[in-house]
Structure 1
Amino acid sequence: MLSYTLMTCDMDGTLLSDDATICTRNIQTIRQAIGAGLHFVPCTGRGFESLNHIQETLGIYQKPGEYVISYNGALITENSHNDILYEDGLPWDIASALYDFGVAHHITMHIYPYGKVYLYNYVPFERAFLEGRMPNIETFEPSLDFLKGQTVYKIVYMDPDLPTLNRYRQQLGSLLDDVTVSYSSDRYIEFNHKNVTKGTALRKLAGLLHIPISQTLAIGDNINDTEMLKAASFSVGVHNLNEAIRPYCNVVTEATNNEGAVAEAIERFILKQ
């Protein structure tokens, strides 16, 4: 019998190695746990469409009764047809204003409508980082009107300098009153609708599946995983975690993301006899 039946797992820096692959130890252990009845749910800031190859590797691609939490918790989809179970996008006026600010300040931006990601001011530094991580579409549009009528789940600003990202946050001022702000990958500041977090989505999915929170486990590595770690009954940080999230972890793995940290968590806390 499994110790936990719903596991939410961050992708970059947690499940994925630094080269954006999944180590053999993780693949084998996750497949074993899924076969034993675990709902293994990728919980990511990315869009669900970028996880197809990851789901194929883990054996859950287009599999009924399996799920993805994407856009930092703004969307929950069921794998077989990517049907939307829950969504909470940015209000259009806020999304448009965030885009306008990014254009005015020549910021590298990610824009996430359903099933796609657009990159604005797609500089070589960011191209190199995203290669092999997720498909994207470059845009040069001066306003967000090219997505008018679509839900925008998340907008991201990229800069490797944290003080610069914090300055943008300060300059945006009251525009962020109805926005959840998070940081990831030591290069992104991310904007979602107010109250959208990975933790909110974890609780929402558990409720939809009639799984008690006491049966949930979460694993992550960075600041945008904080609410997910706080929401789960048992929280695991990987060895390479951002120290800011250590207080929210019940345990930290001995293995890094390159060494099978997710497999270690499953072996120790889910498949244990």
Structure 2
Amino acid sequence: MYKLIACDLDETLLSDDTHVCQRNRDAIMKLQQLGVKFVLATGRGYISVQNTLKELNLAQQENEYVISFNGACISENKNNHVLNFNGLEHQQAQKLYQYGQNYDVCMHVYTKDMVYVYNMDEDERNYMSGRHAYKEIDTDNLDFLKTEDIAKVLYQNTDQEYLHMLAESMGELGDQFDISYSSNRYLEFNKKGVNKGEGLIWLAQQLKIKPEETIAMGDNINDLSMITRAGLGVGMQNSNPAIKPYCDYITEADNNNGGVAEAIEKFVLADRRG
């Protein structure tokens, strides 16, 4: 019997218009009536997912949770209370920021409540619209963030081969981080050992839920850690082909047609009816 579902947002729960389709909303509402936890597990910050929580009637709810920044933060929805935060050291973020200036990338630096973006083009502005609040910067260092908690840093380029080449060329610098890829445009850097899978297991332990009683749903490389750690790993039809062999189930529906609901109906709701 599954008691907790951790679900990615972009290209998984959300349709391409950045909203939750009605089929997904209906299925998640039924989960809530059964007492099954539905937890957003995202690379975004917890502040930036409030509209999605409102669509799911989970905003400002006690005993409901979000795994954000690829697992660097776990928070309770009521008052966005942070339960656990495991971000980058400022020196680590500084090294990544200065290294990235030598390459053809846009960079995002995530604090708890803002994304600072360097070298942003119009395509990235369009992609970020409706997903994140952000501020564009042109500084050559991150000294202005010395007193801020930094969750993660990412590099953006729509050429995935270029991002993989860049990661492979980083040598000892890259070895200091937990590296993942998302949205077919991002190379992401978290503190070593920090990822969605570890976030899922941490939260499950706090709730006294066994790993085998969890489901993880996603579509890309940064979801792989939780897909492989959960009791059931679900990939969307539109998932990056690289993660599909690791999934226990691939939905027939994509993110625009209720792939998340399909999995909920098949593995949770049908079981409860039976």
Do both proteins adopt the same fold according to a TM-score greater than 0.5, normalized to the shorter chain? yes
Partner of 1:37: 35
Q: Percent identity?
A: 44
Partner of 1:148: 146
Q: Does 1:20 find its partner at 2:18?
A: yes
Spell out the pairing of 1:143-222 with structure 2 (5 A cutoff). 143-222=141-220
Backbone CA RMSD of aligned residues: 1.2
SS at match of 1:94: helix
- Structure 1 gap ranges (5+): none
Deviation at residue 185 of structure 1 after TM alignment: 0.9
Task: Please give the alpha-carbon distance, in whole angstroms, between the structure 2 residues aligned to 1:45 and 1:4.
Answer: 24
- Structure 2 gap ranges (5+): none
Partner of 1:75: 73
Partner of 1:234: 232
Partner of 1:263: 261
Deviation at residue 105 of structure 1 after TM alignment: 3.2
State the aligned residue count.
Answer: 271
Structure 1 letter corresponding to 2:137? T
SS at match of 1:142: coil
Deviation at residue 73 of structure 1 after TM alignment: 0.6
Partner of 1:245: 243
Partner of 1:126: 124
Structure 2 letter corresponding to 1:259? N
TM-score (norm. length: structure 2): 0.96
Task: Please give the alpha-carbon distance, in whole angstroms, between the structure 2 residues aligned to 1:104 and 1:144.
Answer: 16
SS at match of 1:77: strand
Q: Deviations over 1:36-93 (max 9, x none)?
A: 2111000001111110000000000010100000111111011101121112111222
Q: Which segment is superposed worse, 49-58 or 139-148?
A: 139-148
SS at match of 2:169: helix
Q: Which segment is superposed worse, 43-52 or 83-92?
A: 83-92
Contact 2:104 2:157 in 1 (8 A): no
Q: Deviations over 1:242-262 (max 9, x none)?
A: 111112211111111000011
Task: Please give the alpha-carbon distance, in whole angstroms, between the structure 1 residues aligned to 2:231 and 2:9.
Answer: 20
TM-score (norm. length: structure 1): 0.96
Task: Please give the alpha-carbon distance, in whole angstroms, between the structure 1 residues aligned to 2:17 and 2:111.
Answer: 26
Task: Please give the alpha-carbon distance, in whole angstroms, between the structure 2 residues aligned to 1:83 and 1:172.
Answer: 36
Q: Deviations over 1:1-39 (max 9, x none)?
A: xx3110000001100111212111111111121122111
